Amino acid sequence: MTVSSGENTADSTSSLSGLAPLEAVLFDIDGTLCDSDPLHYYAFRELLQEIGFNGGVPITEDFFVENIAGKHNEDISTILFPDDHPRGVKFLEDKEAMFRRFAKEQVKPIDGLYKLSKWIEDRGLKRAAVTNAPRLNAELMISILGLSDFFDYVVLGSDCDRAKPFPDPYLKALEVLGVSKDHTIVFEDSVSGIKAGVAAGMPVIGLTTRNPEHLLMQAKPTFLIKDYEDPKLWAALEELDKKATGSA
């Protein structure tokens, strides 16, 4: 069952209890560990306008959400430059360099991230970051957030045959961690990412960081949360703990 972030029902709080005993937690990076999408949007908007894309009219946030957010750069290149792949590759290299300059000063964790990471560490759970971002971006953001020692692995879409929205990156994460999809949770913030986690057979908790709730729900997350302070998340984790210890 999927429920929206505005609901807090018995179904939503017990929806993770079937995962007990929990073995692993998998995270996307952009929009899931940190609210980085505004920086990506700004970089795309500025550089696309600079080269005269769309007649020099700046792209809108709606265009960004529908065509760019959560997608792998190969797919973005095809969307933006369908007839000129080399130009698309060069453009995206320039865009990522601009993003990394912004990120060094402006990336901040999603509220409650460190509370959740402590909960995960206290239970000895395995964890991986699973992202469509380029390696330099992924490593930079994880480092800025102080999570380099937290993650056991970082799985890139470019390391797989297919990136998100296909399940390959999440299936690879399960493989390298040596865990079962039946005992693993995914945290994601994009339609592409939620679809990938669901296709890999895992419950996905969606974050409404930037993407519209109605679009996220179409990808069938288990439920949506605003951030890691959301009471619905902690009610579900408490139920999971109770199931794991056999308490009523």
Long-range contacts of 240-244, Cβ-Cβ distance < 8 Å, separation of 24 or more: 240/16, 240/17, 240/19, 240/20, 240/22, 242/17, 243/17, 243/18, 243/20, 244/20, 244/21, 244/22
Give Cβ neighbours of residue 61 (< 8 Å, ≥ 6 apart): 41
Q: Are 233 and 113 in contact (CB under 8 A)?
A: no
Looking only at the bridges linking them, the beta strands covering 223-225 and 204-207 are: parallel
159 is catalytic: no
10 Å CB burial of residue 49 (0-12, 13-18, 19+) is middle
* Beta-carbon contacts of residue 79 (< 8 Å; ≥ 6 apart): 67, 68, 71
Query: Rounded CA gap, 22 and 132, in Å?
Result: 25
C-alpha dist (Å) from residue 163 to 75, 77, 112, 128, 153: 9, 14, 28, 16, 16
State the sign of the Cα–Cα–Cα–Cα dihedral 160, 164, 168, 169.
positive
Of 11, 28, 37, 241, the active-site residue reads 28
Among 30, 37, 75, 168, the active-site one is 30
Instruction: Report, as residue numbers or ranges, the catalytic residues.
Output: 28, 30
